[in-house]
Amino acid sequence: MYSPGSMNGGKEADIKLLEERLAELERLVEDLEGVSDAEVVDVLERAVALLSEVNARVEAGLAGDEVEAREIGDVLEKVNFGPFDAALEDLETRPEGGSDGV
């Protein structure tokens, strides 16, 4: 059974983690203003590590979304939309204000 709550929980956790990483990056930018030249390398190394983690998570999310989209496409290919299309065509060709006897 489809459960959007369980699926969204993982994405929400990932988004929260990404927000935390971005907040840390912002703090590192602020720290750069007050660190000595010797400490700049350490701050930049931490920033690169955070950016790598963020990038990896974004790429993983995109890959997961691609798989999900493919699965949805596979399901939609199996659905027969013929009756829906026929009903829609009937609505479009029905004279305005006309009644179908229902």
Q: For 37-95, how does the pLDDT look when each residue is reduced to its tens digit (9 = 90+)?
A: 889 999 999 999 999 999 998 898 889 889 999 999 999 999 888 888 889 999 999 88
Residue 25 near residue 48, CB atoms below 8 Å: no
CA–CA separation, 69 and 75 (whole Å): 10
Q: Is the pLDDT of residue 36 over 50?
A: yes
Residue 32 near residue 43, CB atoms below 8 Å: yes
pLDDT of residue 80: 87
Length of the chain in residues, anyone?
102
pLDDT of residue 94: 85
Q: Is the pTM above the cut of 0.85?
A: no
